[in-house]
Structures are given as structure tokens and as C-alpha cells.
Amino acid sequence: MGELERLMEGNGRYLSAPSQKDFVKMRSETANGQSPFAIVLTCSDSRVPPEHIFDAGIGEIFVVRTAGNALDSIALASIEYAAEHLHCPLIAVMGHEKCGAVKAAWEAGEAPAPTKSLAKLMKAIAPSVGKAKKKGADMESAANFNIKAQMRAILRKSPICKHLASEGKLTVVGLKYSIESGKVEQVK
């Protein structure tokens, strides 16, 4: 089974019958090393917990979370570690419906952000918001553009990921989570 299928199957279990986890066994099996099958870059939103959403146990998914699943240099270094040293073959960038970070960027428009850190976050999402507004599309479209923008940013900013992807050892996919239905869908 491919890694993306494995994530989607996990999401299917989350929606119907999440598996019983033997954390004691999982801890002992992973105590001497980890080999997660997927890297998940997703939003910090408390309603978007990746381990639950993919019905994953300990050591299965390598999770990086930032507001708006925005890529910064430390998030990228974390992803590179998992891709290069843990040989994780899949990066899933997962956005979600009703994302507060996207909404903030949508509402801020060109207005200056009140803090430097928030300005960085808004800057990361602004191009996707601008693209959606230009097309007359809605905020959810901006969230989808943002997923794709962060996917591209990984390959553009990381020579390591770009190299692994060119060798067929790494795939980057986009996903979107519905906080109402619990369903994950691919964003193409």
C-alpha cells in the first residue's frame, strides 16, 4: 500500500471505527528509533489533530504544525530531517476548512500586521488570498491555493527535498480536512 493510501485508510477508520491503540507496545517498538511513513505539515488549529484524523499511533506520522500550515525555515528543517534522515517518502500538506489564519489574511488585506511575527505569517498566506480575490473566488479557495503554495515552497526552498523528489524518493501531496465531516480530501 502506498503512503497516501495508508493515510486515507486511516482517515476512513477515524470516520467509522478508530483502531484500538496499544501504546505500551507502540512505545517499546519505537523506543530505539522511528520510521514514520509520512510527514504531515498541517495547521495548529486544535480541531485538526493529525494523529486522530489519520488514526495513527506512535511513530507512524511525523507532524509539523504551524498556523495556516505555513512553511517557515524551522518547519522546513523539521521536514528535511524526516525526509533525509528518516527516509519518509511522503509529505502531506494538509489545510482545513474555516482556517483562522487564512481568514485573518483574507480580512487583513493590505493592512500592516500589528507584530513582526504575525506579519511573517500573513506574508506567507497573502499571495494565496490575493490569487483567490483576483479570481473572485471565496476564502476556501484561498485555503486551497495556500495548500498548493506551501507544497511548492517546500520544493523551491529545500534542495534536499527537491533532490529526493527528483529521484522519486519523495512525493509531496496536498490534502484538505473538513472540520465538520472529519473527511480528508486530496487537493490537486
The candidate with the shortest Cα–Cα distance to 43, out of 2, 86, 104, is 104
Stretch that binds Zn ion, among 74-82, 98-106, 118-126, 165-173 (CB under 5 A): 98-106
Rounded Cα–Cα distance for residues 106 and 51 (Å): 29
Cβ neighbour number for residue 96 with a 10 Å cutoff = 24
Whose grid coordinates read 480580512? Answer: 107
Stretch that binds Zn ion, among 4-12, 38-46, 109-117, 128-136 (CB under 5 A): 38-46
Report DSSP state, residue 180: T
> Interaction with Zn ion in 125-184: which residues (CB under 5 A)?
none
Closest separation in Å from C-beta 45 to Zn ion = 4
Strand-by-strand arrangement of the 171-177 sheet: 61-66, 38-43, 90-96, 171-177, 184-186
Stretch that binds Zn ion, among 23-31, 96-104, 119-127, 168-176 (CB under 5 A): 96-104
> Which residue in 53, 92, 99, 121 binds Zn ion (CB under 5 A)?
99
Give whichever of 43 and 129 is closer to Zn ion, judged by the CB atom. 43
The binding site for Zn ion (CB under 5 A) comprises: 43, 45, 99, 101
